[in-house]
Structure 1
Amino acid sequence: MQLSCDDKDKIGFVKLVGYKMPDTTYSWLNESMNLIECRDKCLNNCSCMAYTNSDIRNGGSGCAIWYGDLIDIRLISATGQNATGQDVYIRMPAEQVNHEEVKHKRKMKVIVILVVSMAIAVVFGILLRPYCICKRTTFRAEKMKTNEMIDQHIEGQSEDLELPFFSLATIIDATNNFSSNNKLGEGGFGPVYKGTLTNEKEIAVKRLSRSSGQGLSEFKNEVILIAKLQHRNLVRLLGYCIEGEEKMLIYEYMPNRSLDFFIFDQRRANVLGWSMRFNIICGIARGLLYLHEDSSLRIIHRDLKASNILLDSKMNPKISDFGMARIFGGDQTEGNTNRVVGTYGYMAPEYAIDGLFSVKSDVFSFGILLLEILSGKKN
């Protein structure tokens, strides 16, 4: 490689680590010089191609310089005998030296960034751990308190209602550990599973979704409210389960699923003759009349729709899903809410727009449902 001697700023040296020294035929040695003096001497001589310490003991001393071609210089293997490579400084154009230095600096920069990032992550993790522990403890305490309040509330009600409690183990065994094969459907509350108890009685298990914040209030509302209602056209609540994070309602099982399963399917709709459709309409009307007028409580369902009408083995209709229902006092005729719940298409306009609900809201939903039963078309 031909290097210019006119401008020393265009000359530099690249450090090679662990190399066998070149052949000494064209070399010069001075044991009294240090490495800096050795570099200057090599830089001032256009024929000098490399330099190093002549003695590498005790940190290095002396000066060895090579002129002309570097013969028999090579990297020594890191293993094996006589693996005693030495650092040697090779003369190069400055831009190539700078390139090597830039690469080295980039490598060091990456290493520094990685080390600093790991240190920050460790410190952050140490500082964050007490906060996470505190939040988790608070969250668990709140959940336990909520569960206790629900349990106490239900137990207080169940003294008069005689509402049975089912253990989680019983429900897991009945549903085959909530097998997907036993899943009947899923709503805003959570999934519903079919189960079979040890006495061969079939049940429907409504499981509160853990991610459903809305479902908790619905659970309390439904378990306290529907247990007080007894009518052949209302689905019957058999019991409940609260254990750990699990909250479930246990209902009688309806083998023919829901009304929408039939009326909106062209093939299955043929099962429903006009007399059967008339009986279903009358059954829904009787159940609704019981909720509004004949029960000990005046109940506004607020979510009357085809999927909430279940059919038993004889195709008798039963109104279900009382999670959205509201109780009215004896003299109360209407209410107002800032939280409009239900299903659009079945909602009365005054309820959907202004949050006003009354028995008329359910009657409007019943009218829409009546049109769907007669026409077989969704609203």
Structure 2
Amino acid sequence: MRQIPRWADVVLVPLISLLLAAICATAVILAIGQDPWEAIVTMVTGALGSAYGWGYTLYYTTSFIFTGLAVTMAFHAGLFNIGGEGQAQLGGLGIALVLLYIPWPHWTVALLAAIVASAAFGAVWAAIPGWLQARRGSHIVITTIMFNYIAYALIVWMLVDVLRPPGQAEPATARFAVGIPALSDIPGLNLIFSDAVPANISLFLALIACVGVWALLWRTPLGYEIRAFGKSEAAARYAGIRPVRTVMIAMALSGALAGMMSINNVMGESGRLLQNSSEGAGFIGIAVALMGRNHPFGVVLSALLFGFLYQGGAELGLWTQIPIDLRVVVQGLVILFTGALDHMVRMMLGLVFAPRKVA
């Protein structure tokens, strides 16, 4: 395959993939007898046309940044972490335990405790498949998928038999005594978000995590080891990089990032641990990382796109005859063209940027 310029790889490949996904989505909408223009207007207006819509878009974006960064971290070590869903749920469990059983004097102290707990629980849950990969040769994709189901079963048992308040039928914990401010509670931002919105200060944590992942991977010796190991394990071994240590660290960091996602919805939006606390963000993080070219700053832009699709799709289900499940179709098309058919787009651009023969 012909090489394409770096700027084309970063800019044109994602844009063309999005365009192809939009064309296919338009064809699907036409096939079910609906108006594509109405769908576009409804999605844009509902997700970006008001402070209320932005509040929900940024709420989803926050979760997707964390899980996208988790996939990115593992990817640079040559690992494909599909366990973000379970790691996020375990992170939520860690938050619930420290907030339910320890009285915190202020939300700032509680937030620090929640960061440590969610990161620790997510890191441990990801480190186990990492150890199985490094020591036993178990395939990381298989083990992380299996651990999603184990995490789900564990959360159900904890909510039903351990953490559920007496007399409550719903499988959920009691509400936390302390939470974190929403964007509508922050002075200055409350002038924009005049109504209560689910987006909260964990958005800023996600952006800080983005910068931290970038600095770790491209500005530290550990990041160099992780990326070198991901490029070639044999060469990394020859250079003295220890494979087991590298895999364990990369998976632990990946799980920690996925676990911190629960700060957004468990401590922030819901104020308690629910049965499906991850809300599917663990799997969407895979698409976010692919779309963001596995670069932390690309992940932010990609997460914003998927946040728009998530909120805009919900608006479709509310105000049009188009089913809400169409957002899943659109997400699938984006994944298809940015992931499976990425090679096809690159081949097309390779023909465009091919050197011209002089007659």
TM-score range, shorter chain: under 0.3
Higher helix share: 2
Largest Rg, 1 or 2? 1
Comparing both chains, which one has the higher relative contact order based on Cα–Cα distances under 8 Å and sequence gaps of 6 or more? 2
- TM-score normalised by length of structure 1: 0.22
Higher strand share: 1
